Amino acid sequence: MSVLFAATRAELSKIGSSRIVWLVTGAVIALHLLIGLANLRNTTTAVEGITPDGLIEIFAGVRRPAAEALIDLHVSFSLQIVVMFLPVIAAVVAGQEFRDGQLAQSVLAVPRRGLLTAAKAIALIVFMAGVAILVELISNAYLFLAVKDWNPGLLLGRDTLADQGKLLALAVLVSLVSFAITTLARSTLIGIVVSVLLMALAMTQVLARTVPAVDALLPVSAGRNLLLDPADADLSSSAAYAAFVLVGWALLSALAAGLLLSRRDAR
């Protein structure tokens, strides 16, 4: 266990010392801040217009119960960043190993490939969980600014906290999938392209409308199915099935990456 801890700490140190990882992460966080700031006024205006019977009109012509609509908006805001950009960060983290012979150095430091793979996976999970928590804190701050004069306790509601827990789990799982795909391909570009393709298939709902059974098996689609309300979105599976799919993708892809790493030369 102490060897695994030391190897994980070394991998975290490697992530923390990578300039490109911090540049990409900073760009994603900055984008999240800018999008939230751009939408804050509209959300605040919608909250100010909540009717006496508790209905809100966030989108023109659509009135819904205020608390429910605001929580859904909060989830959707974070979800877009999580599925669109966190896998890109994970791909960049993984891709650093295949530049300038870093993988060979890692193998020399930790010759046991299984231990090395586990350390890399744990380090990625820790780092991406930190990024995801920061994303959620930013979303929470904007929501609080919008609702502080109406219902400041909305962020502490059971449904809101449950959704935040699901978002954190989703962020870690889709990032682990992207990390594994990049490791399998030994290419940051391929990892990013695959992540973008999976995101596009989910967001455009092409498969959801034509072959929902296939759509339900894709990781980003599973994220939508896990978090969004079936009354407000076209979903292709239940939340429980989506959770099973996400965990399966993360475990199987990480296992495949570990097996392939153990059989390849350290280049």
Per-residue pLDDT of the chain (267 residues; tens, 9 = 90+): 677 787 788 888 888 888 999 999 999 999 999 999 999 998 999 888 888 888 888 877 778 888 888 888 888 888 888 988 999 999 999 888 776 556 545 554 454 556 777 888 899 999 999 999 999 999 999 999 999 989 888 888 888 888 899 999 999 999 999 999 998 888 888 989 998 898 888 888 888 788 888 889 999 888 888 888 776 667 888 889 999 999 999 999 988 887 876 665 545
Could you give the 3-state DSSP secondary structure of residue 57?
Answer: strand
Kindly state the tokens that stand for 223: 């994220």
Reading phi first (left if > 0) and then psi (alpha if -120 to 50, else beta), residue 226 is in: alpha
Instruction: Name 149's bridge partners.
Output: none
Distance (Å, rounded) from C-alpha 192 to C-alpha 187? 9
Instruction: Name 64's bridge partners.
Output: 56
Reading phi first (left if > 0) and then psi (alpha if -120 to 50, else beta), residue 205 is in: left
Q: Return the pLDDT at 108.
A: 46
Distance (Å, rounded) from C-alpha 82 to C-alpha 171? 6
Kindly state the tokens that stand for 31: 């984008």
Could you give the 3-state DSSP secondary structure of residue 59?
Answer: strand
